Amino acid sequence: MKLRHSSRLAIVALLVLALVAVGVTAGCSKPKEITLAFVPSDKTDTVITNAKPLKDYLEKEMGVKINLKVPSDYTATIQALKTGQADFAAIATLAYVIAKEETGAQLLYKSVRFGSSDYRGQITIRAEDKDKIKSIADLKGKTVAITDTVSTSGYLFPLMKLKKAGVDYQDQKQLKILEAGSHPAALIQLYQKKVDAAFSYEDARDALVKDYPDVKTKLIPLDYTDKIPNDTIVARKDLDPKLVEKFKTAMNKIIAMPADQKKAILKVYSWDDITPAKDSDYDGVRDVVKQFNYKIAK
Q: Which domains does the chain have, with CATH numbers?
A: 33-116+230-292 (3.40.190.10), 119-229 (3.40.190.10)
- Checking if the pLDDT of 283 tops 90, the result is yes
> What is the CA 103 to chain-centroid distance, rounded?
15
134: confidence class by pLDDT, cuts 50, 70, 90: very high
Report percent pLDDT > 90 for the chain. Answer: 74
Instruction: State the chain's mean pLDDT as an integer.
Output: 88
Rounded average pLDDT over 261-289: 93
**What counts of helices (H) and strands (E) characterise the chain?**
10, 11
Residue 183 and residue 195: Cα distance in Å, rounded? 14
Please tell me the predicted confidence (pLDDT) of residue 44. Answer: 87
Please, is 177 exposed, middle or buried when counting C-beta atoms within 10 Å of its C-beta (0-12, 13-18, 19+)?
middle
Q: Which of 15-29, 169-183, 245-259, 276-290 has the highest mean pLDDT?
A: 245-259
Do strands 273-276 and 106-112 pair parallel, antiparallel, or not at all (unpaired)? antiparallel
Residue 35 and residue 222: Cα distance in Å, rounded? 39
Summarised one tens digit per residue, pLDDT across range 76-112 is 999 999 999 999 999 999 999 999 999 999 999 999 9
Please tell me the predicted confidence (pLDDT) of residue 213. Answer: 97
- Checking if the pLDDT of 212 tops 70, the result is yes
144: confidence class by pLDDT, cuts 50, 70, 90: very high
